[in-house]
A and B are shown apart, each in its own frame.
Chain A
Amino acid sequence: MNKSGKLAYNAAIVIAAAAAAMGIGAIVLAAVGADIGKAYAVILTEPLKDMIGITEIVVRAVPLSLIALGIAIAFRSGILNIGAEGQMLMGILACSATAIAGAALPKPILVPLAILAGAAGGAVWGGIAGVLRAKLGVNEILSTVMLNYIAAQFYTFLLRGPMMDPEELVTGSGTPQTVRMPRSAWLDRLIPGTRLHTGVFIAIGLAIVVFFLLWRTTAGFRMRAAGAEAKAARYAGVKVERYLVIAMLLSGAFAGMAGAVEILGVHRRAIEGISGGYGFTGIVVALFGGLHPAGIIPASLFFGLLLLGADMTQRLADVPANMVLVLQGAIILAIVSARQFINNPYVQDKLSRALAKLFGRAAPPAPPGSIEACPDPSDSPDPCLAGEPGVSEEETR
């Protein structure tokens, strides 16, 4: 296939997938008697209509991208971290404790300190799963699921106990929440009247850091090697267990930072429900973004739009709130299915030959025994490998 043909093909597949996802959504919308056209129009365009909507998309994208970056580090290192939810909570606890304790510190010191504390909190929680896996072989899916529940309980324990805002006791409201973060710990808002905060720069900065970490440093090289084929990595002198733990520490640290940035930039105190679903949506964003920072940033914006847009359909198109889950689920299923057509050379080969047959033209024969295209490794965990198909063996020799 030539370049424009390939583009058209990919576009067609993506459109088909989107149509399939919207079709599933439409069935459910029809079942609840909603105005399908209006619902979709609201989801996809309404948030973009004003500054508040646009900034709110970004506000969601910040923690999503941070979590997704961390998850990408873990996945690349061969470990399936579904514990971002719990790690985020632990990050929030550590961050808020630090910010409250350090209220007297000047802003340029306190803000980084609090964020680092958040990272440390998340890292500890992620590290537990890492150590359990590396030292005792406990499956990380299991341990991270369990650790999520444990973290949630620990979180409420602290918020309604040792860390509760004393004022809540005085007034008797009893809301489980900490005191407000000191002003010196706040991340500044960028546009008045909106919640867009400087955490955006942190997210973008860290995306670049993650890119460099994974693809430009030896540590990243080793982590990826350990994740891609532990046996080979061990053979090459990589201490695989150590890198597993490091990867989980980092992954947890990112989730912790997501929590820290979220409370310093948005909520400004630790309350319940902050993590709500970010941990899981973060996994989806990470995989959607191809486990690569360059994909994760746009993916997080897309999911920010989707989350916000779907919320708005409730009030503007009279659709039950759960519809957002339906759409997210349908989109995920459709897109991951479509990737098969986009990335798989075997399927493409078959399709293009079938098409050629259909239009009565013979497919150009591949030179016998030559390699004109290497198998597209995009199914492999490393999208960086998915470069342009190489030239033929004859030419390169």
Chain B
Amino acid sequence: KSKVKIALIIESTVDDKGWGQAMHDAIVAVQNKYGSSMIEYNYSEKMKPVDAGSAARQYASRGFDIIIAHGAQFKNLILELSEDFPKTTFAFGTNADVGPKNVFTYMPMSEETGYINGVIAGMVTKTNIIGIIGPVDAGDSARYNRGFWLGVKSVNPKADIKVAHTGSFADFVKAGELAHTHIKAGADVLTGAAQQATGGLRAVAEYKDKQIWWLGQDTLQLTMPEGFKVIAACSYDYAPVIEAMIDKRQAGVLGGENIPMTFENGGFVFKYNDKVGSVLTSAIRKAADQARADITAKKLKLDWQAIKY
């Protein structure tokens, strides 16, 4: 095996406790696994689309082998670059298309993680009101939220799921405001996607002694000080994707494949928070585990696109 140079381009930061960090941590994990003599890694954060274009071009011209533009908004850029640099492997996601022959795409099927969280939420809620804090209703947040909806309804058809959006991926303060609004309106279980969700979780943690809970879209949330409110969390594990890309490239396949991320192929990690105590009953664990098994075994089809809220 020869040395691989990997570059990552993201619009947020590598420590955003969400989207960006998940990918970064995965690459670092793979790097640790193979050793940094084998894998050289460099990243560019806070890249607006135009900046991403410059960075990707520069990485490509400076001999990077795999360039990951982590965000669906980078689709064009990658498609275009792949023509100019046919020897470089590019990757972007989330996207379900099959790209040109030197482009990998990856697609987290986030509705699966949403569904599991939804099952838990549907069983935990006492008020039968559940709040979702969306950034914008698009991309993998939309999938996650709708999967969550399906999950709740599967165990608790009467539950009232309130979906609201802040209109921004990064406005933590607004996410917090929205969480308070949900709680005032009676919600006792909340969830949210993208980095702004941390603001929502932080607001939930305010209600220290109340039975108000959070379901995380990132396992890192479990280890935060606010983690005592998180019943369980699901997150992406991109390491298999990265490894697959490295292996394929070494084998001469530069791209042209879509790598889905599912429970089945290890693209997701799911963790309970054992410290939350009695809310997390064994019945809930059982139901969630069952759901996960069904999804992994493809016994459960999640028609998330049918959900209109």
Contacts and interface: CB of A to CB of B under 8 A. Distances in A.
B61 A177 contact: no
B235 to A, nearest CB: 19
A272 interface: yes
A175 B42 contact: no
B46 interface: yes
Given A173-B96, A322-B46, A156 B72 contact: no
B11 A273 contact: yes
Contacts of B142: 174
Contacts, number: 114
B44 A315 contact: yes
Nearest to B72: A175
Contact of A177 (B48, B72, B107, B136): B72
Contacts of A193: 84
B47 to A, nearest CB: 7
B49 A156 contact: no
A52 B96 contact: no
Nearest to B85: A193
Interface of B is mostly: helix
A56 B139 CA distance: 29
Contacts of A50: 61
B44 A314 contact: yes
A307 B52 CA distance: 12
Interface string A277-311: 10000000000000000000000000000011001
Contacts of A172: 96, 107, 143, 304-305
Interface stretch (A14-22, A100-108, A263-271): A263-271
A35 interface: no
A384 B191 CA distance: 58
21 contacts: A52-B54, A59-B53, A153-B167, A156-B138, A159-B138, A160-B137, A172-B143, A172-B305, A173-B96, A174-B142, A175-B75, A194-B57, A195-B57, A262-B50, A267-B76, A268-B76, A273-B11, A276-B50, A311-B55, A315-B43, A315-B55
B196 interface: no
Contact of B95 (A60, A171, A192, A276): A171
B49 A274 contact: yes
Given A59-B50, A271-B49, A321-B13, A173 B76 contact: no
Contact of A266 (B11, B42, B44, B50): B50
Contacts of B84: 192-193
A71 interface: no
Nearest to A152: B167
- Closest 4 interchain pairs by CB? A175-B72, A171-B96, A276-B48, A321-B46
Nearest to B9: A315
Contact of A52 (B44, B45, B57, B107): B57
B58 A273 contact: no
Nearest to B96: A171
Interface of B: 11, 13, 42-51, 53-55, 57-58, 61, 72-73, 75-77, 80, 84, 94-97, 107, 136-140, 142-143, 167, 304-305
Contacts of A274: 48-50
A169 interface: yes
B61 A52 contact: yes
A345 interface: no
A271 B80 CA distance: 15
Given A177-B72, A271-B76, 6 more contacts: A153-B167, A156-B136, A159-B138, A175-B138, A266-B53, A307-B51
A176 B143 CA distance: 13
Nearest to B54: A56
B194 to A, nearest CB: 12
A167 B298 CA distance: 25
Given A174-B140, A262-B50, A311 B97 contact: no
Contacts of B51: 307-308, 311
A381 interface: no
A320 B14 CA distance: 11
A169 B305 contact: yes
Given A167-B97, A169-B305, A312-B58, A277 B138 contact: no
Contacts of A153: 167
A311 B94 contact: no
